[in-house]
Structure 1
Amino acid sequence: MRLLETVARHEYGAPAKQLARETGLALPTTYHLLRTLVHEGYLHRDKGLFFLGEATERLSSSGAQQKRRTTVVEALAHWRDTLGAPVYYAVYREGEIEVLCVSDTPGNPAVEEWADFRETGHAHAIGQCLLSQLDEEARRDHLARYPVRPVTPYTVRDAHSLLRRLDRIRRMEPVIERQEYALGTVCAAIPITVGTTAATIALSLPVHQADRLLPAVHRLQEEMGRLLGSLTLSISI
């Protein structure tokens, strides 16, 4: 790693002897490490000078992605503790609903995924929020692949009713769902923009705490407004 860092400081490359001197490594050790790093693609050699290779670019990209993931996890944990409720981050990507991150505690557990979230988007606030951000063709395509079906007695009954409901949701308006996916649970999902990808931050509460749902949603919107200015939610986490 010290050798890689030293090479990185030389935009126009550096010879082995200079790298050995700057890292404090013995020259034979330096040559051995340089050969290994070139073989693995972390460095490349040109006219006796060593430069960073493509593998270090992938490593850097992975590091940046990991940093974004950590930022998202920390933000969700902050909102979870502020609201006293589990918080979810989900996106609609390549025709599928993906719950990418969930932050909960033993005292405030997340909703158990007893029916596949991808197949039951019509029944939960996360799915409804994501579908509401799609155009009509994309919505119909999703429902053709994942037909509306009863999940609980409160689930929307058919695709026509669901599409009408989605049409009535105003842009950037929170989506509220009460016991449509899981009996005893109420949920809310807030749409967010991640490039051209539909995404959402959601929370859930036990039904006996339903009176907390709207105040919690408003608080979450305020918290998101403060943090999203400096927070990049990665769709690839």
Structure 2
Amino acid sequence: MIFAVAEAKGPDVGVSELARTLGMSKTVVHRVVRTLAAADFFSFDERTRRYRLGPGAVSVGLAAMAQMEVPRIAQPYLERLVASTRETATLSVRYGMQRMYLTQVLSPQEIHMSVQLGRLYPLYAGASSKAILAALDDEEIRDYLAKQPLAPLTPITIQDPERLREELEVIRSRGYAVSLGERQQGAASVAAPVYEATGRVYGSISVCGPVGRLGVGKVEEYGALVREAAAEVSRQLGHRSGDRNVRA
């Protein structure tokens, strides 16, 4: 229905036209468009009795465009991270109370990390996930920890909610998260949150590689690099460092 209105020849469309286009009865079409109009997906002109796309549809479209645009914006920063660290760099996006990898630039080294794009991961384990979780507000974190079992993904996954809360405070303080085998044995990562123009967390940028190559000194060095890269991508998305981050 929304696509039919969006693809109409004119700026607006009537119920009869929609019914003919979709091969549906006018009664059904009228009921559906009224529901969508109530949700702001359509705007209804009382004078002409015709519908056009509303602010809700526009917001969804802009959000979808942003999702497609962010990997392009992040690409040069991921490439710079790989050039600086010689490890794999990734971009993750928050998906509700989970997250997924959107894109990656692989390490040039023979032994390197490669992530699975599009797969959902929990927010309590791994640097990319914890960077996002730490960027949420306190109430949302409390709600998440109250509902989400901290099931062990590896022997060193944090399973104590209080310990995880303490870890999130450290992440907020230094600006990046660290994981040394929490989500995947033998894998290490350092990640920082990426923010939208609204101040809400979009996702995270990470550098990841074998645990043996990411020692304490490297963690601090790479942490500073991913924090800077994430801040640059956030600025490209319209976020300003002086803005109050909306952790939601």
Range into which the TM-score falls when normalised by the shorter chain: 0.5 to 0.7
Match among 76, 81, 84 for residue 83 of structure 2: 81
Match among 134, 146, 156 for residue 148 of structure 2: 146
Q: Normalising by structure 2, what TM-score?
A: 0.58
Q: CA deviation at 1:68?
A: 4.6
Partners of 1:146 and 1:233 lie apart in 2 by: 32
Give the SS at the match of 1:189.
strand
Gaps of 5+ in 1: 1-39, 46-52
Which amino acid is the alignment partner of residue 88 of structure 1?
T
Q: CA deviation at 1:125?
A: 0.9
Gaps of 5+ in 2: 1-5, 12-51, 240-248
Would the aligned equivalents of 1:143 and 1:159 in 2 still touch at CA under 8 Å?
yes
Q: Match for residue 210 of structure 2? A: 206
Q: Structure 1 stretches (4+) deviating beyond 6 angstroms?
A: 60-65
Cα deviation, 1:107-138, whole Å, max 9, x if unaligned, reads 3643555xx6523x222111111111112321
Q: CA deviation at 1:201?
A: 1.2
Relative to structure 1, is the Cα distance of residues 98 and 109 closer, same or farther in structure 2, using a 3 angstrom cutoff? same
Q: Match for residue 236 of structure 2? A: 231
- Number of matched residues? 184
Over alpha carbons, which structure has the higher Rg? Answer: 1
Partners of 1:63 and 1:127 lie apart in 2 by: 23
Once the two structures are aligned, what percentage of the paired residues are identical? 19
Q: Match for residue 35 of structure 1? A: none
Relative to structure 1, is the Cα distance of residues 66 and 41 closer, same or farther in structure 2, using a 3 angstrom cutoff? same
Q: CA deviation at 1:222?
A: 4.3
Partners of 1:77 and 1:203 lie apart in 2 by: 11
Q: CA deviation at 1:94?
A: 2.9
Query: Do residues 219 (structure 1) and 222 (structure 2) align?
Result: no
Partners of 1:71 and 1:164 lie apart in 2 by: 32
Q: Match for residue 110 of structure 1? A: 113
Partners of 2:185 and 2:172 lie apart in 1 by: 26
Would the aligned equivalents of 1:88 and 1:102 in 2 still touch at CA under 8 Å?
yes
Partners of 1:169 and 1:64 lie apart in 2 by: 26
Give the SS at the match of 1:101.
strand
Q: Match for residue 196 of structure 1? A: 199
Relative to structure 1, is the Cα distance of residues 41 and 157 closer, same or farther in structure 2, using a 3 angstrom cutoff? closer
Q: CA deviation at 1:100?
A: 2.3
Q: CA deviation at 1:67?
A: 5.0
Would the aligned equivalents of 1:72 and 1:233 in 2 still touch at CA under 8 Å?
no
RMSD: 3.7
Cα deviation, 1:49-91, whole Å, max 9, x if unaligned, reads xxxx98xx9xx96878755542323432332233211112223
Would the aligned equivalents of 2:90 and 2:205 in 1 still touch at CA under 8 Å?
yes
Relative to structure 1, is the Cα distance of residues 180 and 64 closer, same or farther in structure 2, using a 3 angstrom cutoff? closer
Q: CA deviation at 1:228?
A: 3.8
Partners of 1:175 and 1:63 lie apart in 2 by: 28
